[in-house]
Amino acid sequence: MRLHILSKNKETVQLSLRGFGVWRRENPGLLLSVLICGIADAVTPYVDIWLLARLLDEIAGGRNPQLLAAHALALMGTNAVLSLLCAGLTRWKNVPLSCLWHTQNKVFMEKLLSMDFADMESSYVQELRSRIWQNTDSGGWGLYKLIDCLDAIIRSVMSMLSAFLLTASLFLMPVTEGSGRLTILNHPVFILLMAAVMIGVTFAAPLFSVKAGSYWVKYAAENQLGNRLFGFWLGSLGNDRAKALDVRIYRQDILSRSNLKKYNPFLPTAKLARAARGPMGGYQALSGAVSQIFVGAAYIFVCLKALGGAFGVGRIVQYVSAIIALSGGLSALIQALGDLKNNTPFLRTVFEFLDMPNRSRSNPESMSVKTDKGYTFEFRNVSFKYSGQEHYALRNVSMTFHAGQRLAVVGMNGSGKTTFIKLLCRLYDPTEGEILLNGTDIRQYDYHAYMQLFSVVFQDFRLLSFALGQNVAGSRNYDRDKAAQCLRDAGFGTRLDKLRAGLSTSLYKDFDENGVDISGGEAQKIALARALYKDAPFVILDEPTAALDPVAEFEVYSRMNQLIGQKSAVFISHRLSSCRFCDDIAVFHEGRLIQRGSHDALVGDRAGMYYQLWSAQAQYYAAQEESVQM
**Over the stretch 567-586, which tens digit does the pLDDT of each residue have?**
888 988 777 766 777 889 99
Residue that finishes a domain, picked among 535, 568, 586: 535
Q: φ, ψ for residue 334 (rounded to 5)?
A: -65, -40
Could you tell me if 512 and 555 lie in one domain? no
**pLDDT of the residue at 573:** 76
User: Is residue 529, in this structure, part of any structural domain at all?
Assistant: yes
Q: What would the mean pLDDT of 180-190 be, rounded to a whole number?
A: 73
> Which residues lie below 8 Å from residue 244, measured CB to CB, with a gap of 6+?
none
Q: Mind listing the pLDDT tens digit for each residue in 494-518?
A: 999 999 899 999 998 888 888 898 8
Any domain includes 367? no
- Let me know if residue 366 belongs to a domain: no
Does position 620 have pLDDT exceeding 60, yes or no?
A: no
Give the Cα separation of 216 and 265 in Å (integer): 12
Which tens digits make up the pLDDT trace of 206-237?
666 666 666 666 666 666 666 666 666 655 56
104 and 34, same domain (yes or no):
yes
- Let me know whether 380 and 265 are in one domain: no
Do 397 and 528 lie in a common domain? no
- Closest alpha carbon to 601 in 610, 589, 593: 610
Of the three residues 490, 516, 535, the one that is the final residue of a domain is 535
214 and 128 in a common domain = yes
CB-based contact 92:37 (threshold 8 Å): yes
Per residue in 313-349, pLDDT (tens digit) is 677 777 777 777 777 777 788 778 888 888 999 999 9
Same domain, 404 and 481: no
Average pLDDT over residues 63-73: 78
- Counting the structural domains of the chain, the total is 3
CA–CA separation, 350 vs 16, rounded Å?
11
**Based on the domain organization, do 171 and 188 belong to the same domain?**
yes
Mean predicted confidence (pLDDT) in 511-533: 88
Question: pLDDT per residue over 19-41, tens digit each?
Answer: 999 999 988 888 899 999 988 88
What is the arithmetic mean of pLDDT over 518-543? 88
For residue 162, the one-letter residue type is: S
**Residue 164 amino acid letter:** F
113 in a structural domain: yes
Residues with Cβ within 8 Å of 563's Cβ and at least 6 positions away in sequence, in order, are 489, 490, 532
494: CATH: 3.40.50.300
Question: Does residue 54 sit in the same domain as residue 84?
Answer: yes
Say whether both 194 and 86 belong to one domain: yes
Return the sign of the alpha-carbon dihedral for residues 47, 52, 58, 60: negative
pLDDT of residue 211: 67
Q: E strands within 546-621?
A: 568-573, 584-589, 592-597
Q: How far is CA 345 from the centre of its chain?
A: 17
**Which DSSP symbol is given to 241?**
G
* Single-letter residue type at 518: I
Task: Lowest mean pLDDT of 249-258, 276-285, 520-529, name the range.
Answer: 249-258
Whether residue 263 sits in one domain with residue 184: yes
416 and 410 Cβ atoms separated by less than 8 Å: no
The continuous run of DSSP H or E covering 441 comes out as: strand 440-441
For residues 54 and 318, what is the distance between their CA atoms, to the nearest angstrom? Answer: 9
Q: What is the pLDDT of residue 304?
A: 77
Task: Give a yes or no: residue 416 inside a domain.
Answer: yes
Domain CATH for 91:
1.20.1560.10
What is the per-residue burial (b if ≥16 Cβ within 10 Å, else e) of 48-78?
ebbbbbbbbbbbeeeeeeebeeebeeebeee
Asked if residue 431 and residue 298 are part of one domain, the reply reads no
- At residue 630, the pLDDT reads 45
- Quick check: is 613 in a domain? yes
Residues 31 and 56 occupy one common structural domain = yes
End-to-end CA distance of the chain: 86
Residue pLDDT, tens place only, 447-481? 888 888 999 988 888 898 899 999 999 888 999 99
Decide if 173 is inside a domain. Answer: yes
- Between CA 483 and CA 263 the distance in angstroms is 49
What integer is the mean pLDDT of 195-205?
68
Boundaries of domain holding 580: 372-453+544-630
Structural domain includes residue 524: yes
> Beta partners for 337?
none
Segment 163-180 shows an average pLDDT of 72
* Domain end point (choices 354, 381, 413): 354
